[in-house]
Amino acid sequence: MYSSRVLDRMLLSGLVGLLLVLTAEARVGKSSESHLCYETEQCLHFDLICQTKDFEVRHIESVNWVTTYEMDYSIDTAATKAFTRLYKYTKGANQNGTKMDLVTPVVVRVPHNSSSEMSAYIVHLLLPAEYQDNPPKPTDDNVHLLRSPDMNLYVRGYDGWLTAKSDREMAQSLASDLDSVGANYKKNFHFANTYSSPLSDTHRHSEVMFVALDEPVCI
């Protein structure tokens, strides 16, 4: 079992591995500018550096998120519990009682631990553009406001539900392809993204992402 101090460090270090977007005004914006975001009015925007037959490389700049972690053995149950906590924040569980729309994607930091270990899954919701500069503080002590750094990401998308099985298979496949071209990336975790509501049975899109180290490989 992790101590609260260790979990806080993991939460912060997870953001050094976090992800997505450029500036609040330019890169958190209307979904019409991205073919990936069709269920929410706003979504994350990114710069596409390059694309190969196996993956694409995206560049994202600093942005604000609301985030929380959940201890569990699987992303399936951990993500659901953590998302529920974050959803309450967007529906008024903050010091201003502010209600805000969801922004896609929902992002989960997935640790590369043994399946027999209980691990901290960190879930992130991107704050809407109008709350990027001065987001309301959460009333739940387990919910935090954090800012992600600039980064490059290796990304592979796929259609279908984000589950422990689909995420594990896609992450292993992407890692194998990255290793085959000599890419340098963070290997102790990856990010799992979903763009679809839990109520949507069709047109579901999910992704796996690794944080690139050094100059990204585009082969």
Burial class (CB within 10 angstroms; exposed 0-12, middle 13-18, buried 19+) of 97: exposed
Within-domain flag for 98: yes
Distance CA 145, CA 124 (A): 10
Give Cβ neighbours of residue 176 (< 8 Å, ≥ 6 apart): none
Within-domain flag for 217: no
Within-domain flag for 219: no
* pLDDT recorded at residue 17: 42
Distance CA 173, CA 144 (A): 32
Within-domain flag for 216: no
- The count of domains in the chain is 1
Burial class (CB within 10 angstroms; exposed 0-12, middle 13-18, buried 19+) of 25: exposed
* pLDDT recorded at residue 41: 87
Burial class (CB within 10 angstroms; exposed 0-12, middle 13-18, buried 19+) of 54: middle
pLDDT digits (tens), the chain, 219 positions: 555 554 555 554 454 444 333 333 447 666 654 567 777 889 888 999 999 999 999 999 889 999 999 999 999 999 999 999 999 999 999 999 999 999 999 999 999 987 778 999 999 999 999 999 999 999 999 999 999 999 999 999 998 889 999 999 999 999 999 999 999 999 999 999 998 766 566 678 899 999 999 999 998
Within-domain flag for 218: no
Query: The CATH number of the domain where 15 resides is what?
Result: 3.20.80.10
Within-domain flag for 58: yes
* pLDDT recorded at residue 66: 97
Within-domain flag for 171: yes
* pLDDT recorded at residue 19: 39
* pLDDT recorded at residue 189: 97
Q: Could you tell me the residue range of the domain that residue 91 belongs to? A: 4-211
pTM of structure = 0.83
* pLDDT recorded at residue 39: 79
